[in-house]
Amino acid sequence: MDDPDDTRRTGSVNGRPDSVNLSRFTDTAVVDRPGVVERTGATDRTGGADRTGGADPAAPSGAPDPAAAARPAGAPEPTGTPDPASAPPLGLPGEVLDRLAGGAHHDPHGVLGAHPTRGWTLIRALRPDATAVTVLVDGTRHPMTRLQSGGIFAVAVPGGIPDYRFEVTYPDSTHVVDDPYQHLPTLGEIDLHLIGEGRHERLWHVLGAHVRRLDRGPGGGAGTVAGVSFAVWAPNARGVRVVGDFDFWDGRGFPMRSLGSSGVWELFVPGIGAGTRYKYEILGSDGVWRQKADPLAFATEQPPATASVVHESSYTWDDAAWLERRASIPWHAAPVSIYEVHLASWRRGLSYLELAEQLVEYVRENGFTHVEMLPVAEHPFGGSWGYQVTSYYAPTSRFGSPDEFRHLVDALHAAGIGVIVDWVPAHFPRDAFALGRFDGTPLYEHPDPRRGEQPDWGTYVFDFGRSEVRNFLVANALYWLEEFHVDGLRVDAVASMLYLDYSRPSGEWVPNAHGGRENLEAVSLLQEVNATVYRRVPGAMMIAEESTAWPGVTRPTHLGGLGFGFKWNMGWMHDTLDYSSRAPLFRTYHHHQMTFSLMYAFSENFVLPFSHDEVVHGKGSLLRKMPGDRRAQLANLRALYGYMWAHPGKQLLFMGCEFAQDNEWSEATSLDWHLLGEAGHGGVARLVRDLNHTYREIPALWERDSDPSGFSWIDASDAENNVFAFVRWGEDGERALACVTNFAGVGQVGYRLGFPFPGRWREVLNTDALDYGGGGMGNLGGITAVADPSHGLPASAALSLPPLGTVWFVHEPADGGPAGDGPSADGQADNELTAGEPADGARSDPEA
């Protein structure tokens, strides 16, 4: 799609509509200054009242003005003072006054503001509770007449539209203010057209609250007017008003105008700026006023308060080099090790700025390539962990401002760490101040409760087939990637989007047009989101939390897939944890659970997740899932991590799991950081650190993660001994890595195992190393494979396998020449190992 920010297409210049956009709103003449429009008598495109300086709707109709008829076409009006007796009447029909005062007028600009008529300009103001209003023009005072008890005032000023302000008197104060109703719409025609089509990829540039500086209006005064433009989509509303700090939360004085069939309501409020709290008051078709937070608010109050907050970013980014590098990385063939974190409970009480120091340094030291944050979009209930979002365009204010969140992302990038944010497009909560029944009708949610409500979670489901709702979600994905420079989105609850019968019994769901249970609208939305993100944001990741066997989740959209970059491997996670939780004596009978994942490991681009979902709600910590006493639990967990990091796929580990958190996770408390001082837990932490650093240094562990040629079994059938052995292969003859895991409770000495080629195999990692809290059983730094075939391979070696341990070996050719071919390496020479010496503690012999 064309970039809607290009002024040649949107008709938006310096925040003001140009002549292309104004054709539906007004007759205009564009002067030479970009973005400045001289108004020449506008008429509402709907046939209603003038909104920006045209003939007044209350002016007498019938015979034309004789003076005007005598003037040549295009000649200016005479500048002499007209006869006071010729002043137009100030009154308006009672129905118009009532609608305006009651907030139900679709076009208040057509009544309020300045309207030239036959040598005079009628100026009207809406100032509820004011005792008097005076128009100030070049030092001249023009007292206004109250037309209606609702606070509508009017005066006729001789001549054309002047540069004017209001002096507003209240019982206890007097204020001089600018008129909100003297400005053109801040949305252009192309903007409205794209919103209607659902194709405005930068929707946040036109909807929401924006600090702007507009020209003073048709009076031609010098300088600009600073204020905030508000725009909200509420197509079924009878009226919309903006309320906030600036009007003491009384919206009677600030009704918004409807921009035709777009469903957008808009108003520029002068004299306010960043930090202003606000909401919209929306009059539904049922006659009920509802206060709603802005769906596109960029900031919010801290919960439990629910107001939106005007925000203007002043942040200067310093991550250009990171973004340039990111754009060139094929992540499926690069090292990805993700640390999943819940910001509120990693360490309690930290701000974005404090996290930028403490979290960044911790993640860097531990070698993770990425941080994945549980949802940071604003949510009222902390116990939802962020998965019940009410403000999709606002980082939660619990930890600071949007710019302080930008600083956190910038700091992570400076440390070489990518940022992934959980994104929740599947559903949203029912909070009365938020998206639900936004304009008094099902708007963002599907109107049929069989599609529009999620019974398990008590939430609403987005109407994925409605173009404006799709636009809201597609633009929101881009917003986080472009405005906050995040590197990827992990899309939550994809399965609930894909299936119409998800968590619904028979008879409580509606089939699709073909009679099936697939949600075709959700499928096309996900395809659109992914295709748009990959087109607009080079190097971005899109990751699906998808728990079913839906085919082609990571297949490109042009080949019929959903278009994600990665998918969480929930099957691997469930099978692996089920196997690991069994006592070693019984694992023999469940050997297949560990080998089955390799039957489908290359059908998608997978992430292997040990996520927050596995350590909460009574499931216990990963450590407590392991069988045996505490020593055996720690050894089991270390062996499992060694196996996981060598398995095809990218790794994800939830916070606390890196040091074997003992207690189940709770969002209400910090992690048990004191455990790092205990030998067993500190050993696990050192292991995870070394796993990450060693993993990043050995290309065989990640270059062919999505290619079957990157993996081959050595022995997948030794169920009796609970042993699994396989080889990982890199690109172009990269040195192979052999991973051998013994999930039995007893060690093996002289265990004969086949290897793909003879020679020295260096032990680069052993989870039973003394430094990790293990028993120190190992292979004295490596083994030598001889040309004695075994397991269908040309060489073999006798190994010492520690109990409940994983050992990694990397081949070292004696002459520095080729290490041998991988399954499809075509005989290309192996490159020199880049890992260097083993990480501290990687050797398991007692002298290491």
* Number of C-beta neighbours around residue 383 at 10 A: 9
> Which residues of 659-710 form beta strands (DSSP E)?
none
Return the structure tokens found at 776: 């120190």
How far apart CA 493 and CA 832 sit, in angstroms, is: 43
Amino acid at 586: F
The catalytically annotated residue of 179, 191, 492, 690 is: 492
Cα distances (angstroms) measured from residue 202 to each of 10, 206, 282, 327, 649: 11, 8, 24, 21, 34
| Residue 32: DSSP 8-state | S
φ, ψ of residue 566 in degrees (nearest 5): -140, 160
Which helix H or strand E contains 723, and what residues bound it? Answer: strand 723-728
Q: Quick one: which of 847, 840, 776, 835 has its CA closest to 810? A: 835
How is residue 124 written in tokens? Answer: 């009207």
How far apart are alpha carbons 334 and 704 in whole angstroms? 9
Tally the residues of the chain: 848
Rounded to whole angstroms, how far apart are CA atoms 699 and 705? Answer: 10
**629 catalytic residue (yes or no):** no
Contact 509, 501 (CB under 8 A): yes
3-class secondary-structure state, position 378: strand
Residues 6+ apart with CB under 8 A from 349: none
- Asked if 164 and 136 count as a contact pair (C-beta separation under 8 A), the reply is yes
Cite the DSSP H helix spans in 332-371: 343-346, 352-365
Of 545, 604, 703, 705, the catalytic one is 545
Q: Are strands 140-143 and 132-137 parallel, antiparallel or unpaired?
A: antiparallel
Place of tokens 């039973």: 768
The structure tokens 């209400």 sit at 668
Alpha-carbon gap, residue 195 to 6, rounded angstroms? 15
CA nearest neighbour of 38 among 161, 178, 188, 191:
161
Active site residue 492: yes
Catalytic site positions: 492, 545
